[in-house]
Chains A and B, each alone.
Chain A
Amino acid sequence: MSGAAAGAGAGAGVVVAAGGGAAGRWRQRVRYYAPAVIVFVGAIVAWELIVSALNLQKFILPKPTAIVAALNENLTSSRFNLLASAQATLVEALGGLAIGTVAGVAVAFATARWATARGVLLPLAIAANAVPIIAFAPILNNWFGLENPLSKMVMAAVLVFFPVMANVTRGLVQVDPAALELMRASAATEWQVLRKVRIPNALPYFFTAMKLATTLSLIGAIVAEYFGGASLVLGRVIVQSSSALRFDVTWAAILLAAATGIVFYLAIVAIERIVIPWHASMRATEGT
């Protein structure tokens, strides 16, 4: 999409920040996002109309308007209290994200630094990653306490750990050999190589992992909640409302979970733009 703009810029040799101004940029952005927005709105409208036309029962598929109404009714009041539930789940997901990220980054540094650690940990990590970790949720609930948010955090953390560790390790290890030769020619210490080459090189890998991890942390928290826990969390609301055949509330909870996931993801993208504006992926989205 941005190919034309980027190509023209590169061809000129020196890319002076493309003109056009803020107004032009906005127009470009609207033109880029308009088709997606139209399709999305169209799908919602079609959903509403089809459910009405086929006269589908509420417990099979509620209308979008009914879902929004349920969201509105149960946002703060009623036994489902969606807002408080979403908050509790978000705390679990964030906690898990933090624990998993810190652990993943720490192990990545160890594996990148010591070849023996790499030999032991990477195959183990890859093998562990092939296991459907989510199946351990009941066991984690048992270990850390059904009502304790920590059991959900640990589930989320375990899911987050592997992509973070694998990506950051790759970013720390897969460095341009010429850059290492340059550092050697400058008689740089190992520590300087790490700080000035390996860590900046790993940042784009890290953000790729974080975008995956935000979604994984929410999945981990919600699925762990399915197996029991405090009642005011999204996973419990989904289970209880569906067993009570209040599918409009179930859908409202899913809607909230989706919105949380999207906000989560966008937050990472925003941080990424600030931290690594130099990266090619950032430049590619610049004009779009």
Chain B
Amino acid sequence: MTGTEQQPIVRLSAVDKVFGRGGQPATTALQGIDLEIRRGEFVSLIGPSGCGKSTLLRVIGDLVPATRGDVVVNGKPAAMARRDRDYGIVFQAPVLFEWRSVEDNVKLPLEILGRPPAERAKRAREMLQLVELADFTRHYPYQLSGGMQQRVAIARALSIEPALLLMDEPFGALDEMTRERMNSEVLRIWERTGTTIVFVTHSIPEAVFLSSRVVVMSARPGRITKVIDIDLPRPRDLETRESRRYFELVTDVREALRAGGGLEGDDADGGAGGGIASEERTLAEGAVG
């Protein structure tokens, strides 16, 4: 057992991803990706739009196959890990089924697994308690706000108790206030469940606030340019966002993005630039409170 505990939950070696083969001009989305993620870590992938961070997440989840290189998840090839339901996934959109109640949406992965109804009901109840939506089990998705819908998606992803949780810009569509609340929420869930989280974002403050490590990527082709350890103490709260160390790390990440070309050109406004603006807003709020 100790062997499994020590072994990284995700190991990528020399991974390339090339899109558009067969006649079309090929686009190299990922090039020479080497990355190890340890069990229990919270790792963010950050970079400008088009740097392949979402593709990297999908390679880990075997939703798109790697063109070259090795992808090992939970000690097995990524395809096998997917078939064994070793991970849960949360997308930018909640992707809830409108014909299912909140509770039934959370039960979906358990149904697919063929778990007995009593267990499904119990797990769904626990997960909805975890994301603090226990009062909304009978509601339908359209009756919930965007933030609540995303919490249902998180509960659904965690219902099978995955060793790994993949999150693809899960709060990108939410307003800043909701996003900060969701950040604290996701940290609380991470601490409670001990799940490893791989989190794609283009918000610098979000990446720094949440992560144990921030993986900085650059575009065309998508490469890892730097990995920054985030040594902020836990548990993290509003004070974390106002600490000196936090600002230093935000600066580090921003400089790493700039060095990789992430803060230049048109990508910067939509991507990392938005992160900086939101961070300044956070500062202003901190000063008032």
List residues of A whose CB falls within 8 A of some B CB: 13-15, 176, 178-179, 181-188, 192, 196-197, 200, 203, 276, 278-280, 283
Contact = CB atoms under 8 A, between A and B. Distances in A.
B61 A185 contact: yes
Contact of A178 (B93, B108, B109): B93
B19 interface: no
A285 to B, nearest CB: 14
Interface stretch (B23-31, B67-75, B95-103, B213-221): B95-103
Contacts of A13: 144-145, 148
A183 B156 CA distance: 12
Nearest to B86: A187
Given A186-B109, A187-B83, A14 B143 contact: yes
A14 B108 contact: no
Q: Which of B84, B95, B100 has the most CB of A within 10 A?
A: B95
Contacts of B61: 185
Given A182-B89, A186-B112, A283 B142 contact: yes
29 contacts: A13-B145, A14-B148, A15-B142, A176-B95, A178-B91, A178-B93, A179-B95, A179-B97, A181-B63, A182-B89, A184-B63, A185-B89, A186-B108, A186-B112, A186-B113, A187-B83, A187-B85, A187-B112, A188-B112, A192-B112, A196-B108, A196-B112, A203-B99, A278-B99, A278-B142, A279-B98, A279-B99, A280-B98, A283-B142
Dominant secondary structure of chain A at its interface with chain B: helix
Interface of B: 61, 63, 82-85, 87-89, 91, 93, 95, 97-100, 108-109, 111-113, 136, 139-140, 142-145, 148
B140 A278 contact: yes
A196 B156 CA distance: 15
B213 to A, nearest CB: 24
B143 A15 contact: yes
A14 B82 CA distance: 35
Contacts of B82: 184-185, 187
Nearest to A182: B95
Given A183-B112, A197-B97, 20 more contacts: A14-B136, A15-B143, A179-B97, A182-B89, A185-B82, A185-B89, A186-B112, A186-B113, A187-B84, A187-B85, A188-B112, A192-B112, A196-B97, A200-B99, A203-B99, A276-B99, A278-B98, A278-B140, A278-B142, A280-B142
